[in-house]
Structure formats: C-alpha cells, structure tokens
Amino acid sequence: MQVVYTGADWHEYWLRSIKSNKSIGLVPTMGALHEGHLDLVRKAKEESDIVVVSIFVNPTQFNNQEDFENYPNTLESDLDKLSNENVDFVFVPDTKTIYPEKPVININFGELERVLEGTFRPGHFNGVGIVVSKLFNLIRPHKAFFGQKDLQQTGIIKQLVKDLSMEVELIIVPTRREEDGLAMSSRNMRLSTEERNQSLILINSLMKAKQELLAGKQWFEVQNQIKCDFEEKPLASLEYFELIHPERFTRYSKFDENQKSSICVAAYLGKIRLIDNLPIIP
C-alpha cells in the first residue's frame, strides 16, 4: 500500500494505471475509519482494479468550529486497517494541498439543500461539493463510493456529477450498523457511555415510525410522538425528523405508500451531532 500526499505524487501512479488499462475506484473519507468505511472499501475492491482511499478532514464542510477541532484523528490505525484490506493507495493531503487558496466559487444546490442538513448546517454542502470536485479532479477515478448513511450527501454529489458532466460513476453502499442498530460513525467514539446508550433513540425512532406508517398511522401523529420520545431522553436533542422523497429531498406532509420515501433524523447527544435515515418505500 502506497501513501501519497499530493496530486503530483499521485499523477505518476495515475499515468501508470491508465496506461495499463486499470480502472480506479475512489473512497473519500475523513478518517477515523470504522467498518462502515471498510464496507465502501470492500465494494471498491470488487468493482475496480485500483482502489484509492482519501483521508482528509475537510475544514470547509464544518459549520461548527468545535466539531472540526474535535474531529477524531486516528491516522496510524486507519492506515493499518486499509493495509489489511489490501488498498492500493491512500491519499492523505494536507490542507494547503487541497486549499492552496480559499476557493472563490460557491456551489448552490438549490432546492436540494433547502431541507435537512442544508438547513441546519449552512455552507456544509458547498464545502462537500468543492472538496469532492477537487478529489475527483486530482484522483480522476472511474468510480467513487459513498455511504447511504449520508443520504442527502449522495443526492448532492449525484447532482454535482450530472450538472458538471463529470465522468465518474457513483456507487452507494448501504449503512453499516453496530449490533444494537446505531449507525456507525466516526463521531460515535466521542459519545460518553450514557450518551451512547441514549443514542439508540435515533434508530429506534426510525424503526418505530416506519412500523406505524406502514400500519396506517398519519405522519403528523407519528412525527409528534417521536418528538415527545426525544423529550424524554435528557441527553438527546432532536434537530429534525422528516419524511422525504429519497432522491428529490422534498418533504412530505403525508405518507403515501405509492411514493418512494425515507425518514431522515438528526439529533445531538450531548455535544455530538448524529444523523441516520431509513427507507420506508425504497
């Protein structure tokens, strides 16, 4: 496994790969790797000849400085995990490599970002759009792998690729969960024991809402009940719990079993913000 730090370093390997007709798969990450990330890596191994994993904690997608400063950094163990998965290249750029200067452009995803994460994390998707574009331009992958856990992010990136005619195929990998159902996240390692216990309210409320919707209960009743459930957990604070179209990200006010739908949730456990989602009608 080769660790590369700059686009120029990678360029030589890229040329070699292209000359020998090898397909390149990219898995963008912010490090602190867990089994969810490794599922993406394994999928990338199946689907490409050469796998590049990038590790870069992108400052421009954090709208909360404290969250950025406390984001876990476990580079040594990340590299061990990736080496065990027989990854070919790990791209570990520093901030100056990705941002020699502050970008001037601003990517506005319109309607797509006027709900959910877009509302609660202003500027977040602009940062994601810019860093993903940069990674695609530097690494030039044929395929790129993203997790369904960040559902709205997958929608944003699909739009980016479509609108800018990028020649990269996107592959979305299902959410990997802990045994008790909590969606794996690098932020989970920052939860206290009590926060970790109460964090199960995210997946439990998604499953409860799904069951009730499918049993015929009205969405507004379900949503109100979930808000009350959150109020009973002293360490949990709900940001949103919405029923949406999983590609257009429009909010539904009613459940319709003839329309694609997912529920998305974001909540704080203490100071740690977690998100999750569950398809209701895929």
Shortest Cβ distance from residue 32 to ligand AMP (Å)? 7
- Active-site hit among 37, 124, 142, 245: 37
Residue 274: strand pairing partners: 267
Stretch of residues binding ligand AMP (CB under 6 A), selected from 77-85, 93-101, 177-185, 204-212: 177-185
CB of 274 to ligand AMP, least distance (A): 11
Rank residues 222 and 266 by Cβ distance to ligand AMP and give the closer one.
266
The two three-digit tokens of residue 77, written as one number: 């163990």
Q: Is the CB of 29 or the CB of 199 nearer to ligand AMP?
A: 29
Q: How far apart are CA 57 and CA 83, in angstroms?
A: 20
Is residue 186 part of the contact set for ligand AMP (CB under 6 A)? yes
User: What would the x/- binding string for ligand AMP be over residues 156 to 175, using CB under 6 A?
Assistant: -----------------x-x
183 vs 191, beta carbon nearer ligand AMP: 183
Burial class (CB in 10 A: 0-12, 13-18, 19+), 167: exposed
Choose, by CB under 6 A, the member of 78, 150, 195, 242 that binds ligand AMP. 150
Does 152 interact with ligand AMP (rule: CB under 6 A)? no
- Tokens linked to 54: 């990038």
Size of the site for ligand AMP (CB under 6 A): 17
Q: Specify whether the CB–CB gap between 254 and 281 falls below 8 A.
A: no
The tokens for 33 are 């790797």
Q: Please, which of residues 7-66 interact with ligand AMP by CB under 6 A? A: 29-30, 36-37, 39-40
CB nearer to ligand AMP: pick between 144 and 236: 144
How far apart are CB 151 and ligand AMP at their closest, in Å? 9
Separation of first and last alpha carbons in the chain: 38
Interface with ligand AMP (CB under 6 A), residue from 7, 141, 147, 246: 147
Dihedrals phi, psi of 58, to nearest 5 degrees = -80, 110
Helical (H) or strand (E) element with 52: strand 50-55
Least distance in Å: CB of 61 to ligand AMP? 9
Smallest gap from residue 30 Cβ to ligand AMP (A): 4
Give the closest residue to 154 by CA, choosing from 187, 122, 117.
117
Q: Which residues contact 28 (CB under 8 A, 6 or more apart)?
A: 54, 56, 131, 132, 135, 144, 146
Integer Cα distance of 163 and 166 in angstroms = 8
Give 66's contacts (C-beta < 8 A, 6+ positions apart). 271
Residue closest to ligand AMP, measured at CB: 147
Whether 34 is catalytic = no
Q: Does 261 bind ligand AMP (CB under 6 A)?
A: no
Residue 88 near ligand AMP by CB under 6 A:
no
Please, what sign has the CA dihedral across residues 53, 56, 57, 61?
negative
Residues that bind ligand AMP (CB under 6 A): 29-30, 36-37, 39-40, 146-147, 149-150, 173, 175-176, 183-186
User: Which residues are catalytic, by number?
Assistant: 37
